[in-house]
Amino acid sequence: MALLKIVKEGDPLLRKTSRPVEQITPRILQLLDDMTDTMRHANGVGLAAVQVGVLRRVVVIEVEEGNVLELINPRIVAFSGEQHEREGCLSLPHKWGITNRPRAVVVRALNRAGEEVEYRGEDLLARAFCHELDHLDGKLFTDVLIGDVEYER
């Protein structure tokens, strides 16, 4: 497995729409593994393929240590409630802000075996789902801020 370079703010790739995965190939499986290693190394809770320079609808999320959710072609199928919490991004280091996100979401995707899976997430997991799926459509957390960006020193 390999650590991948995380694309940073200012790179136009982050504003592009990712393409669906048509077939789960060994290359996609390797991408999932490498993204997990990269996310963990960067101390993140989620990573979208576009953040490592790959315009495919692939996401990894780990809000509970040891429980990595691998999502291929994910989509939010339901959401409810509202939360305003502090959020950051591996592609926008040292920037934080309060976002407006649903309190709970339901996501459907394919897993690495090509089977459809469904996850329900609340609070942090709901934010992570929304944040990473936004990346697949060229959106950043700064697009849904309530107020100004905060800078970490």
CA dihedral in degrees (39, 21, 105, 117; nearest 10)? -100
Assigned domain for 5 exists: no
Which token pair is 61? 């999320």
Assigned domain for 84 exists: yes
Query: What contacts 123, CB < 8 A, 6 or more positions away?
Result: 83, 85, 103
Rounded to an integer, the average pLDDT of 18-29 is: 98
Assigned domain for 4 exists: no
Kindly report, residue by residue over 81-109, the tens digit of the pLDDT: 999 999 999 999 999 999 999 999 999 99
% of the chain residues with pLDDT over 90: 93
Kindly report, residue by residue over 41-74, the tens digit of the pLDDT: 999 999 999 999 999 999 999 999 999 999 999 9
Confidence of residue 153 (pLDDT cuts 50, 70, 90): low
Q: Which residues are catalytic?
A: 132
Domain containing 43 equals: 12-151
Give the per-residue pLDDT at 102. 98
Assigned domain for 83 exists: yes
Assigned domain for 129 exists: yes
